Amino acid sequence: MFHFKQFSIQQERAVMKVGTDGVLIGAWTPVSTNYQNILDVGAGTGLIALMLAQRCAEASVDAVEQDIPSCEDMEANFRASPWSNRLTAFRCSFQEFCCVTNNKYDLIVCNPPFFSNSLKNSSKRKARARHNHTLPPEDLIDGVKQLLRPNGIFSLILPALDYEAFRLQAFRKGLFEYQKLNVRPTPNKPVKRVISVWGLQFPQFDIIEEELVIELSRHCYSEAYTNLTRNFYLNL
123-176, pLDDT tens digit by residue? 555 555 444 468 999 999 999 999 999 999 999 999 999 999 999 999 999 999
Q: CATH number for the domain including 183?
A: 3.40.50.150
Domain count, the chain: 1
Residue 30 domain flag? yes
Residue 234 domain flag? no
Global pTM value: 0.91
In angstroms, the Cα distances linking 224 to 54, 94, 183, 214, 215 are: 20, 33, 11, 8, 10
